[in-house]
Every structure is written in C-alpha cells, then in structure tokens.
Homo-oligomer: A and B are copies of this chain.
C-alpha cells in the first residue's frame, strides 16, 4: 500500500471543523442578527463586557482573539447603538475603559440565555459521555495549538498571532482566508 494520497474532503478534519464552525455560527448569528441588529464581533464584545464588567478594547481583542481593528469598529458601532459606553479613562491616557450601558446589559441578558440554550441543544445531540469526551478533546486541541483557554492564560498570554497574507506570486490577484 503506497503512501496515502487519498483524501476525502468530506472526511478531512480541517474542512469539517470549518464547516461545522460556520454552520454553528451562522445558526446562532441568525438569532441575534436581524432581531437585534448585532453581529458576531458585536456579540463577542457584549459577551466580554457582560462578563468582565469593564475593560479596555485591547483586553477585548486579546480575549476574543479578534483583530484590534475589528474590535475598534464593532465598539464604535455598539457605542452608536447605545449598548456600550466609555467608562472613564485610566491612569494610562491611551486606553479607554468600556462598559455596557443599561440598554446594553438588557440586550446581554436577553442574548445569553438564548446562546446558552443553543449550546445545550448542540451538546444534547451527543449523549453525556460523548459530550464530555468532545469537550475534553477540544481542550486538548486548544492546548496543543496554544489557544488561551482561561482568563488566567490570557493575562500571561502570547500576543495575538499574525495572519499571513497570500499569493503575491504568479497570480494577478492576491487572496487570503
């Protein structure tokens, strides 16, 4: 039997992970998309601020692993929409503390149960034993890939990874993702 050159895309782990993640995200996003007018980046910020109380954009970026420009723009939107406000400056004049407005907190408290319900729904399709194994496997993969798994890990954390930009060679158009 020769070295494996057989690859079924539908059985290929990276592909499956991508597909699953997209599906789950889209699925969940629809819940808060048109109904509440917020999108994934905004949702992540709400979730972070909702749990943390208050923190800087930088902290949000690190925690959500979103690019700081994405955070910046999503925060701008959320402020416009009245969900987030600046919670005064810090000793450090460069950074700005952010927090939810009452309106933002109401939204947060509306969304969290929906999100958790959806999560439970997903895990319910696995029996408890399998679900536990699945989460355990996730933990290990995250560890192997050095993804921060706790707040604590974050504070000590590695800086956000650079995203390679593509195909300067041989093509007329460059791409990424």
What residues make up the interface of A, taking CB atoms closer than 8 Å to B?
3-10, 12-30, 33-34, 37-41, 44, 47-48, 50-51, 63-65, 77, 80-81, 109, 112-113, 115-116, 118-119, 122-123, 125-126, 130-131, 133-134, 136-138, 140-145, 147-151, 154, 161, 163-164, 166-173, 175-177
State the oligomeric state as a number of copies. Answer: 2
- Determine if A133 and B137 form an interchain contact, defined as CB atoms under 8 angstroms apart: yes
| A-B interface, 3 closest residue pairs, ranked by CB to CB distance from nearest | A133-B133, A21-B21, A134-B137
- Determine if B167 and A38 form an interchain contact, defined as CB atoms under 8 angstroms apart: yes
Contacts A9-B51, A37-B169; is A122 near B141 (CB within 8 Å)? yes
Residues on the B chain within 8 Å of A109, using CB? 5
A17 to B139, CA, bound (A): 11
Question: Among A8, A13, A50, A167, which residue has the most Cβ atoms of chain B within 10 A?
Answer: A13
A118 to B21, CA, bound (A): 19
Q: How far is the CB of A150 from chain B (nearest CB, A)?
A: 6
A19 to B138, CA, bound (A): 11
- Determine if B3 and A149 form an interchain contact, defined as CB atoms under 8 angstroms apart: no
- Determine if A169 and B17 form an interchain contact, defined as CB atoms under 8 angstroms apart: no
- Determine if B50 and A7 form an interchain contact, defined as CB atoms under 8 angstroms apart: yes
Query: What residue of chain B has the Cβ atom nearest to residue A8's Cβ?
Result: B51
- Determine if A130 and B130 form an interchain contact, defined as CB atoms under 8 angstroms apart: no
29 residue pairs A–B, Cβ–Cβ below 8 Å: A7-B112, A7-B115, A8-B51, A9-B51, A10-B148, A10-B149, A12-B119, A14-B28, A17-B20, A17-B25, A18-B25, A19-B147, A20-B141, A23-B147, A34-B164, A34-B166, A34-B167, A37-B170, A38-B167, A39-B176, A77-B173, A81-B170, A122-B144, A125-B140, A125-B143, A126-B141, A133-B133, A133-B137, A134-B134
